[in-house]
Structure 1
Amino acid sequence: MAASIDFEREQRGVAIRMAAALCVTIFAAAARLHWGASTPRPLSDRLMITAGADMVVVGWLAAAIGNVARLRFFSVTDIAGSGSATATTEVSRANAPTKP
């Protein structure tokens, strides 16, 4: 019972930190679009350039991170991250390789 409560508390904390990270990302992107260019360009041009250059990469990265986060979020062993314990087989397989 106590393990279940701790797991739910950890899940809530992870969800709050994910929401905070999303807010920081949105703020940083908005600030860059607003104050970034030394030569003024219309907002629509800046948005088209940004979206065109980054859409595929950002989408792929978000999907990969989301998959690992989903696997970790619903696992009692993996919820705290890789620093606290050895990752399960599913999470290890979904992680990007760190060694050649």
Structure 2
Amino acid sequence: MRACCQSMTRIISIITITTLLVTLAVFYFVFNHSNVPFLYMAVTVVVASVMILSFRAIMVIWITLFVLLTFAGNRRKVLVQRGRRITLDVVWHLVRVLFRSNK
């Protein structure tokens, strides 16, 4: 389980760094091309921040779910085999809740 948490932390770090690099690239583009409105830069920063926070929230939920299933008596091998399905179920539920709350 420790290796799984380390790899998830590494993935979260990679996603965060990539999002920050894209944001910096947009800043650079906006400052060098003054005909682009400042609003585009603000929207990009907000979207990047939301992506980082949502990805981290999904990873925390995913890790919590696996820990709870482990304490419930599921073996590690079973969790690894069913991991993709569990992850898909969690992400699908979060997307449904997100779109349902906007109505």
Instruction: Tell me the TM-score normalised to structure 1 length.
Output: 0.52
Cα distance in 1 for partners of 2:86, 2:4 equals: 16
Deviation at 1:81, TM superposition (A): 5.0
CA positional deviation for 1:25: 1.1
Distance 1:57 1:33 in 2: 12
Cα RMSD over matched residues?
A: 3.9
Point out where structure 1 has 5 or more consecutive residues left out of the alignment. 1-6
| 55 and 94 in structure 1: CA distance in 2 versus 1, 3 angstrom threshold | same
**What is the TM-score when the length of structure 2 is the normalising length?**
0.51
What is the SS of the residue equivalent to 2:23? Answer: helix
Q: Could you say which structure has the higher helix fraction? A: 2
Partner deviation per Cα, 1:25-63 (whole Å, 9 max, x = no partner): 11111012113567326xxx73x542257637953x555
The change in CA–CA distance for 1:65 and 1:40 in structure 2 (over 3 A counts) is: same
How do 1:1-100 and structure 2 match up within 5 A? Answer: 7-36=1-30, 39-40=33-34, 46=38, 49-52=40-43, 55=46, 59=50, 61-74=51-64, 75=66, 77=79, 82=84, 86-87=85-86, 91=90, 94-97=93-96
For these two proteins, the number of residue pairs brought into alignment is: 82
How much identity, in percent, do the aligned residues show? 10
Partner SS, residue 25 of structure 2:
helix
Where in structure 2 are there 5+ consecutive unaligned residues?
68-78, 97-103
Once the two structures are TM-superposed, the CA of residue 24 in structure 1 deviates from its matched residue by 1.4
Distance 1:57 1:26 in 2: 7
Are 2:62 and 2:90, in contact at CA under 8 Å, matched by a contact in 1?
yes
Supply the distance in 2 between the matched residues of 1:54 and 1:34 (Cα, whole angstroms). Answer: 13
Could you tell me whether the CA contact under 8 Å between 1:72 and 1:81 is conserved in 2? no
